[in-house]
Amino acid sequence: MAAPASADRFLQALLDEGLEVVEVGDWRTRNRNHKGSWGPVHGVMLHHSVTKGTDSTVRICRDGYTALPGPLCHGVIAKDGRVHLVGYGRTNHAGLGDDDVLQAVIAEKRLPEDDEANTDGNRHFYGFECENLGDGKDPWSAAQLEAIEKVAAAVCRYHGWDAPSVIGHLEWQPGKIDPRGFTMDSMRVRIHDRLGGAKPPAATKPPTAPKPAARPAFPGRAAFGPGKSSTSILLLGQQLVRRGYGSHYKVGPSKQWGEADRLNVAAFQRAHASLRGDADGYPGPLTWQLLFS
């Protein structure tokens, strides 16, 4: 049972690891503690921000937005390697995730499949947003990757954890893809080596052949659009994420149709020659068939 570090000790741990830290306003007391407790803490969670530009990224992560109030993390790791502290305490970064994953993090064992969303991650993880569009094309600079390694190592060093206590959002909550552009296994190796290599880092679940799944029935064009809500919309969003077309989601797909759904569907349609003439972002029978093929 690990109590969170005090804000001052957290800051000192980052500085001791050789990081350049930017303190943003009242970060020490900016949190969501009125929504629930923070702690015990068991690990570090990494995210990509789906934003461009350090200033705007820091502002969004500090203030949040209507659907998800800030702070959205404890620190923003910018492309130049600087760490901007925007909050401390409970923050809106992890959401609900898999209790089996949490138990594996606590035991520092191999991570299982994240197939449930039944456990409050905001309570148990330090969270860091890394400035990146998350589209698989936006590059990760050497300075930023080194800062990610140092940030995670600093927190682990303070608590006596090793690299298996560091996970990505994609390993915690079904449907998430972040951080995209480097693998968590490779980052855990870097963190493990920085900590002195006392024991080998636990890898994620071993790769397995994907299970064939029956294609869900197309519900009809009328099922999609503003004001619509259904399981079919959620299935659509989850499949878009699996196929690599989920970059417009801020907090993941849901049953409620939104502009992010339309933009992600349109991106999928534009990527397929047979759909380009009808890339309006609303799925028809052919879009549905190709998406779930």
Closest CA to 128 of 109, 153, 110: 153
Instruction: State how beta strands 64-65 and 43-48 pair.
Output: unpaired
Q: What is the pLDDT of residue 125?
A: 98
The contacts of residue 55 (CB under 8 Å, 6+ apart) are none
The contacts of residue 285 (CB under 8 Å, 6+ apart) are 218
Q: What is the pLDDT of residue 209?
A: 47
What's the pLDDT tens digit per position in 163-211?
A: 999 999 999 999 899 999 999 999 999 999 999 975 556 666 555 544 4
Q: What is the pLDDT of residue 19?
A: 97
- The end-to-end CA distance of the chain, in Å, is 45
Q: Is 76 helix (H, G, I), strand (E, B) or coil?
A: strand
The CATH H-level superfamily of 7-194 is: Peptidoglycan recognition protein-like (3.40.80.10)
Assess contact for 74 and 195: CB atoms under 8 A: no
Going from N- to C-terminal start, the domains of the chain cover 7-194, 221-291
Q: What is the pLDDT of residue 30?
A: 97
Q: Is the pTM of this model over 0.85?
A: no
Q: What is the pLDDT of residue 275?
A: 80
**Cis omega (within 30 of 0) on the bond before 283?**
no
Assess contact for 114 and 171: CB atoms under 8 A: yes
Instruction: State how beta strands 125-130 and 75-77 pair.
Output: parallel
Assess contact for 87 and 27: CB atoms under 8 A: yes
The CA distance from 194 to 183, in Å, is 17
pLDDT per residue, tens digit, the chain (293 aa), is 599 999 999 999 999 999 999 999 999 999 999 999 999 999 999 999 999 999 999 999 999 988 899 999 999 999 999 999 999 999 999 999 999 999 999 999 999 999 999 999 999 999 999 999 999 899 999 999 999 999 999 999 999 999 999 999 999 999 899 999 999 999 999 999 999 975 556 666 555 544 445 689 999 999 999 999 999 999 998 888 888 888 888 777 899 999 999 999 999 888 888 887 778 999 999 999 988 88
DSSP state of 221: G
Q: What angle do CA 23, 28, 30 make, to 5 degrees?
A: 105
The CATH H-level superfamily of 221-291 is: PGBD-like superfamily/PGBD (1.10.101.10)
